[in-house]
Structure 1
């Protein structure tokens, strides 16, 4: 009997790890639920939930993330849904180095989907981009950090958390959108409603950054 119990305990040590998920298995697990929860939102945009492009706009001061959709490049963007941040770290201003706990600011893309995140699910943001690297070289900075995600849960050290239910919706949208590497714009605040640029003491190039972000946001007015 003792040997039987020990055998089962040993087996459980090797096979108790969490089963690995795939993007496809997550789509199967949450797809129907998300389709129902976003049905009214898609109807308001008059865009087919099976035929759309998407983008994400994130605003640090407001601590909200907007998902916008359109049918194709010839159509205008429409707001699908707003998701509040569930936590926040750092302050207004771009990410400059590894470990500064800053949420980046800039024009990025979705790099890949992570169905096995320790924060439920996550979407990789393509930080650092070419602008980040150019300014780092100008400043003499080398370790810019990385692994910036939009994810679930209610904790962050430089990423954007939106909670488990909300990341399920955004993740499923990301599996269905026609533009797989869709835009992710992260701004200090919404320049569409507040045209002023923050002054950031640590750098001399914030005007260049914010002019670029502000110009990009005009595509989503």
Structure 2
């Protein structure tokens, strides 16, 4: 075989190998190229519940009972503290008071203190949100949609002539994120089942720069939107019944 033919074959072999490795990385969990660690993907929300619902419900019922909270609870508030990298879950107990039942570390999140203002700013939103849907099949395993931008975000944007606010903000699995909350695969499975059982309309989300009941955010407020201090005041007031105990 001619030398140039050998070179062509070698180049083709390297290309095939490179493509195979790239495909393996995309198919695997995003924080690993080891396909053995790739999570199972599900075609639908019902498929998730069928596969993992029973053991997760048993685990959660035990955790909730220890806090005098029935499972599933009638209402919940989930609080994201960006600086502390915590997602704290509160539920109404048998005395109609909110009690913390779960706390998850936020494994991956980008940005800093301050609201999300536009696509590509890498910021996790700040404000009052809801879970707007289920995402059972993601490269980040599975997730819960956050209704960013909400109406308040849109009002501020119109007044400031901002467009392209960004979309696809989720609480999801895996260990990496740009603008979302990456919680890891086992925790997101628990939250997925929990959100389904409680009902999306019964879960409030509070996204704060930090625990505003004990500290000020690490931010130059003079360089932020003029409405931000007022938002932080409302966030602090809303956090107080949960965190200032």
Task: Give the gaps of 5 or more residues in structure 2.
Answer: 1-26, 28-39
Aligned to 1:41: 63
Aligned to 1:165: 186
Q: Secondary structure at the match of 2:229?
A: helix
Q: Distance in 1 between matches of 2:41 and 2:143?
A: 17
What CA RMSD, in Å, does the superposition of the two structures yield over aligned residues? 2.2
Which residue among 156, 173, 189 is the counterpart of 1:135?
A: 156
Aligned to 1:59: 81
Native 8 Å contact 1:55 1:184 kept in 2: yes
Q: Distance in 2 between matches of 1:181 and 1:46?
A: 19
Distance 1:203 1:51, change over 3 A: closer
Q: Distance in 2 between matches of 1:188 and 1:24?
A: 34
Aligned to 1:25: 47
Native 8 Å contact 1:199 1:206 kept in 2: no
- Deviation track 1:134-174 (CA, whole Å, cap 9, x = no partner) reads 21122221110011000000010100011000001111100
- How many matched pairs? 203
Q: Secondary structure at the match of 1:121?
A: strand
Q: Distance in 2 between matches of 1:19 and 1:128?
A: 28
Distance 1:181 1:36, change over 3 A: closer
Q: Secondary structure at the match of 1:112?
A: strand
Q: Distance in 2 between matches of 1:124 and 1:19?
A: 17
Q: Which has the higher helix share?
A: 2
Q: Distance in 2 between matches of 1:176 and 1:131?
A: 28
Native 8 Å contact 1:51 1:178 kept in 2: no
Shift of 1:84: 0.3
Aligned to 1:104: 125
Q: Secondary structure at the match of 1:46?
A: coil
Which residue among 87, 99, 107 is the counterpart of 1:86?
A: 107
Task: Give the gaps of 5 or more residues in structure 1.
Answer: 1-16
Between 1 and 2, higher relative CO (CA 8 Å, sep ≥ 6) is seen in 1
Distance 1:204 1:51, change over 3 A: closer
